A and B are shown apart, each in its own frame.
Chain A
Amino acid sequence: MADEKRLQEDLVLSNAPHIRTKDSVRKVMWLVVISLLPVTINSVYLFGCQVLLLIGTAVITAMAAEAAYQFLLKRKITALDGSAVITGLLLAMNVPPHAPVWMVALGSAFAIIIAKQLFGGIGFNIFNPALAGRAFMMASWPVEMTTTWHPFSSGNVLSSSLPRAHSLSQQAVDTITSATPLGVLKDGQGLLKDLAVAPGQLYEFLFSGEMLKSLFMGNIGGCIGETSALFILIGAAFLLYKKIITWHIPVSYIGTVVVIMLMYYLFNDSDMPYRAILFHLLSGGLMLGAFYMATDMVTSPVTARGMIIFGAGCGIITSVIRLWGGYPEGVSYSILLMNAAVPLIDRLTKPRVFGTEKN
């Protein structure tokens, strides 16, 4: 019945499609690592090799924690797929450069084991593991997490060689430069009282061209990944070009912050509203958060519309925390809170199936 000449070809039999993209999870992760090189190099330049020690600790702890967890639970070990590397790297970006090594290790282990693996491993975690790790560290060791970020040997966060507003006393300058820009902005009231500094003088100093330039270029204190908007933007441009991230979340996040800040400063009849907004954009972890943390694929929506809503939500919460909340900085918490809303956002922004009614 069957033709005797049928050949045994050792052929691969599978359903269409027979071609696949060359992209893989590992490739995506490595591209993200590469995009963070400019920021990392700038940080090493600013803070010294301590930075590399912390990054290394975070990354190795993350991979080890993942491998150990998966080994103990007899699951497939995926510690080398690149996702643990990213979590470790991004966690390190969010800690101060002079934080203790053991603290970073614990934070990294928490991020992987609690925030990622316990939820089901890659693809199943609700919260951004690196940010969850940072939140854990902030809650456990608030002092170390908010004071160990001085790049200057004087212990200052801002260079005291920033041209001073002509009317500020030396003492005022010293006090101001030992805190972070956002911290100064938030605690302006306290400074005013102690040092007889008028609000106008303070803002003149904070929003001066030199200050803004420092924030942009990055010779200022803060967490490892937070200080230079310039290098973050370079890395982000690379990610956008390689289509690892899309514009929706960063534009929506930053755009919303701009709009809210604009309304706030204009409503309050502020002297330099546009500089104030630029100051907010360039300081704290906003750039890092908008381009690297909020865009984490697993913890953000899958549809374009959902991403825009997500970004806007992050923008609103960040602005509210910064302007009226207790913390000077709100990026990490706003992203974590919006992460919790993602399943709902996904459900509400399902695309209309081709050929069905618009309703």
Chain B
Amino acid sequence: MLLKTFKGGIHPPGHKKLSRDKPFVNLSIPHRCYIPLQQHIGKPAVPLVEVDDIVEEGQIIGRADGFISANVHASIPGRVVEITDYPTVYSEHGQCVVIEAEGSFSSSGKNVESRNWEELSSDELMNLVHEAGITGMGGAAFPTAVKLSPPEHREIDTFVVNGAECEPYLTVDDMLMQTYPDEIIEGIRITLKILKINKAAIGIEKNKPEAIKAISKAIENGNFNETIELHPLPVKYPQGAEKQLIYTILKREVPSGELPLDVGVVVNNVGTIFAMREAVLYGKPLIERFLTVTGSIVKKPGNYKVRIGARITDIVEECGGLTEKPAKIIMGGPMCGLALNHMEISVVKGTSGILILGQDEVTIHDYNPCIRCGRCVAACPMHLMPNELGNAVEKQRYDIAETLHPFDCIMCGSCTYVCPSKRPLSHFIKLAQVTFSAKR
């Protein structure tokens, strides 16, 4: 039976047909990888190598700096040719380790023996996840080891698995669940051991029937029905936003300004869980990931496996290139993704998709006054009043904006999507957030 979903949200056209039936294809190993030392929330990793060093595939090249940080590893074997600043998706000047391919692969194509994870303790498992530099792969890129070590006094009782994939165009999580359902279930069990709990809830949007079937079967086969529950979810954006996901599945509301920890929950994306299992079983660090390359002007849209540090320009070329001049290159999905100003940007750990939009798919809008239609109020999943926030910021009345809960906005973009006056509501709210943060 379908769960009753959160109040609000929108139904943008899905565009998933472009890539949802495409099984994973491994793209070529790049001859040069540009690996940013900051691919996660928190402090950038500190480089452990120097120019001219020879590194092995999977060798650690950057160490986590502080508690909220993550390790970075070499995606390919070779020689470090540069350690300089390059434009990355997070910054115009992100320190990158550039490796030129040389030598043989230590793990790819080789048979690596797997560990028996059930013999390891929670702390040992956690350490493997931390060593492997695993970060959130649904887009936010939060260091996973940190997320899995809640403060002592916080009681966790449920592990929520995010298989919603509510963003239009993206299909990588769908294909992952269809292709590796048993591995994902194992990854969930590993995480349950790390968290020392025995209840997990998986949320998958109804528009992925094959994935639901595959995961359901994997749970059945292993007889894990007691610990792992599968919940098909109504199709709505942003069903995969963590607060909305937790509310729909568990009917718990994460309090304003707090984290899922506060309602006893930890949430992870299915891609992250898959990577955690690889790290625990094979000691494999996060050096490659699956993603969706899509867009109506991409010659061969589909779901691909790429190395971290590969450049978008090479990936798009391998996908057949484009049929016309692009108007927008987006890393991520169309609702929350980042628009890039050129294609010489590396894929990082949080890159779930590369979306290319053509000239007639992108319009630059001149916006008009608010006509008080109320669509944004109805769409907001956090039950804010985006129209009032927008009006206040437009008139620079930050005193009014402050009373309208700007920091509760999850920047999902639903309000901006529905506005018939084409008002840049998310942008106004972001401006309010940035202004208030600067004042603090």
**Interface positions of B from 320 to 348, Cβ below 8 Å from A:** 325-330, 332, 334-344
Tell me which of A21-29, A147-155, A166-174, A260-268 binds B. A21-29
Would A12 and B328 count as touching, CB distance under 8 A?
yes
The answer for the CA separation of A297 and B378 in the assembled complex, in Å, is 14
* Contact (Cβ within 8 A) B339 A28: no
Which of chain A's residues has its CB closest to B258's CB?
A355
CA distance A212 to B4 in the complex (A): 43
Of A56-64, A119-127, A222-230, A251-259, which stretch is located at the interface?
Answer: A119-127
A306-335 at interface with B (beta carbon < 8 Å): none
Query: B370 — which chain A residues lie within 8 A by C-beta?
Result: 123
User: Cβ of A17 and Cβ of B385 under 8 Å apart?
Assistant: no
Docked pose: A5 CA to B255 CA in angstroms: 48
Answer yes or no: B365 CB below 8 A from chain A CBs.
Answer: yes
Q: Does A241 contact B (CB under 8 A)?
A: no
Whole-angstrom CA separation of A351 from B374 in the bound complex: 12
Write out the residue numbers on chain B whose beta carbons fall within 8 Å of the beta carbon of A6: 87, 342, 344
* Contact between chains at A13 and B253 (CB < 8 Å): no
Question: With the chains together, A353 CA to B380 CA distance in Å?
Answer: 10
A352: B residues at CB distance < 8 A: 383
Task: Enumerate chain A residues within 8 angstroms of B344, measured Cβ to Cβ.
Answer: 3, 5-7
Q: Which residues of B contact A298 (CB under 8 A)?
A: 371-372
In the complex, which residue of chain A has the Cβ closest to the Cβ of B328? A12
B364 partner residues in chain A, CB cutoff 8 A: 12, 14
B336, A351: Cβ atoms under 8 Å?
no
B327-A354 in contact (CB<8A) = no
**B372 and A302 contacting across the interface, CB-CB below 8 Å:** yes
With A13-B339, A351-B385 already in contact, the answer to whether A19 and B417 are too (CB < 8 A) is: yes
Q: Does B221 reach chain A (CB closer than 8 Å)?
A: no
Which of A20, A25, A121, A350 is within 8 Å of B385, CB to CB?
A: A350
Q: How large is the interface on A (under 10, 10 to 19, 20 to 34, 35 or more residues)?
A: 35 or more
Shortest distance from the beta carbon of B311 to any chain A beta carbon, whole Å: 9
A18 & B427 in contact (Cβ 8 Å cutoff): no
Complex Cα–Cα for A7 and B430 (A): 29
C-alpha spacing A5/B342, complex, angstroms: 10
Per-residue 0/1 for A105-142: is the Cβ within 8 Å of any B Cβ (1 yes, 0 no)?
Answer: 00000000000000001111000000000000000000
B66 contacts the other chain (Cβ, under 8 Å)?
no
Q: Is A1 an interface residue (CB 8 A)?
A: yes
Is the CB of B426 closer than 8 A to any CB of chain A?
yes
- Number of B interface residues at 8 Å Cβ cutoff, please give it: 71
Q: Which residues of chain B from 412 to 430 have any CB-CB distance to chain A below 8 Å in the complex?
A: 413, 416-422, 424, 426-427, 430
Task: Collect the chain B residues with CB atoms within 8 Å of residue A1's CB.
Answer: 84-85
- A17 & B336 in contact (Cβ 8 Å cutoff): yes
Q: Is the CB of A355 within 8 A of B413?
A: no
CB distance from B385 to the nearest CB of A (A): 7
Interface check B81, CB cutoff 8 A: no
Q: CB-CB contacts of A332-359 with B at 8 A, as 1s and 0s?
A: 0000000000000000001111111000
A18 adjacent to B330 (CB under 8 Å): yes
Interface centre among A5, A18, A20, A81 (most CB of B within 10 A): A18
Interchain CA distance A121-B368 in the complex, whole Å: 11
Complex: how many Å from CA A14 to CA B329?
A: 11
Residues of B within 8 A of A5 (CB): 344
A16 to B89, CA, bound (A): 14
The secondary-structure label for the interface of chain B is: loop
Contact yes or no, A17 B426, CB < 8 A: yes
In the assembled complex, the CB of A112 is this many whole angstroms from the nearest CB of chain B, namely 16
Interface residues of B in 367-401 (CB under 8 A from A): 368-374, 377-378, 381-385, 387
Q: Which of B258-273 contact A (CB under 8 A)?
A: 258
Q: Is A270 an interface residue (CB 8 A)?
A: no
In the assembled complex, how far is the CB of residue B314 from the closest CB belonging to chain A, in whole angstroms?
11
Q: Is B299 an interface residue (CB 8 A)?
A: no
- Indicate whether A353 sits within 8 Å of B413 (C-beta atoms), given known contacts A9-B341, A18-B334, A25-B420: no
Q: How far is the CB of A271 from chain B (nearest CB, A)?
A: 43
A144 and B324 alpha carbons, distance in the complex (Å): 64
How far does the alpha carbon of A25 sit from the alpha carbon of B420 in the complex, in Å? Answer: 5
CA distance A20 to B376 in the complex (A): 12
Chain B residue at smallest Cβ distance from A352: B383
A269 at the interface (CB under 8 A from B): no
A28 to chain B, nearest CB (A): 6
A97 CA to B420 CA in the complex, in Å? 34
**Is B368 a contact of A25 with CB atoms below 8 Å?**
yes
Q: Which residues, 50 to 84 on A, are CB-close (under 8 Å) to B?
A: 78, 81, 83
CB pair B371–A122 under 8 Å, yes or no, is yes
Contacts of B243 in A (CB 8 A): 354-355
Least CB separation from B369: chain A residue:
A123
Tell me if A15 and B421 are in contact (CB < 8 A): no
Q: Which residue of A lies closest to B413 (CB)?
A: A17
Using Cβ atoms and an 8 Å threshold, which residues of chain B touch A3?
86, 344
Seed contacts A2-B87, A9-B342, A355-B256; 20 additional CB < 8 Å A-B pairs = A1-B85, A7-B344, A11-B326, A11-B327, A11-B341, A14-B339, A15-B339, A17-B426, A18-B334, A18-B337, A20-B363, A123-B369, A298-B372, A302-B377, A303-B377, A353-B383, A355-B255, A355-B257, A355-B382, A356-B408
- What 3 A-B pairs have minimum CB-CB distances, sorted nearest first? A17-B413, A302-B374, A123-B369
Can you show 15 pairs from A to B with CB atoms below 8 A apart? A3-B86, A13-B339, A16-B332, A16-B336, A16-B338, A17-B416, A18-B337, A21-B12, A21-B420, A25-B368, A123-B368, A297-B373, A302-B372, A303-B377, A355-B254
Q: Footprint of B on A, CB under 8 Å?
A: 1-3, 5-21, 23-25, 27-28, 78, 81, 83, 121-124, 297-298, 300-304, 350-356
